Amino acid sequence: MNTKNKSLPIGTSLLTTEHPTLQAKGRLFFCKGCREFKKHYSKGLCGRCYREKYYQDNSGKIKAASKKWQKENPEKVKAARRKRELENPEKAKIASKKWGKENPEKAKAGYKKWCLENREKRRASSIKWNKKNPTKRRELKIKRRGCGVIEKGVVARIITENIFKYGVIACEKCGEKCPDNYHIDHIIPLSKGGSNGYDNLQILCSHCNCSKHVDIADYRGSGKNKQMFLKI
Closest CA to 142 of 132, 152, 131: 152
* pLDDT score at 225: 58
Instruction: For residue 186, count other CB atoms closer than 10 A to its CB.
Output: 22
Report which residue type is found at 24: A
Distance CA 99, CA 114 (A): 17
Express each pLDDT in 3-50 by its tens digit. Answer: 444 444 444 444 433 343 334 445 677 788 888 888 877 877 888 888
Cβ neighbours for 196, distance < 8 A, ≥ 6 positions apart: 142, 147, 148, 149, 150, 151, 154, 186, 190
* pLDDT score at 131: 83
* pLDDT score at 148: 63
* pLDDT score at 145: 58
Residues of the chain where predicted confidence (pLDDT) is lower than 50:
1-25, 228-232
Taken in order of first residue, the domains within the chain and their CATH numbers are 1-66 (no CATH), 73-130 (no CATH), 135-230 (1.10.30)
DSSP state for residue 88 in the 8-state scheme: -
* pLDDT score at 163: 87
In terms of Cβ atoms closer than 10 Å to its own Cβ (0-12, 13-18, 19+), residue 158 is buried
Distance CA 1, CA 17 (A): 16
Contact 193, 174 (CB under 8 A): no
Distance CA 104, CA 121 (A): 22
Express each pLDDT in 145-164 by its tens digit. Answer: 556 667 778 888 888 888 88
In terms of Cβ atoms closer than 10 Å to its own Cβ (0-12, 13-18, 19+), residue 177 is middle
* pLDDT score at 37: 80
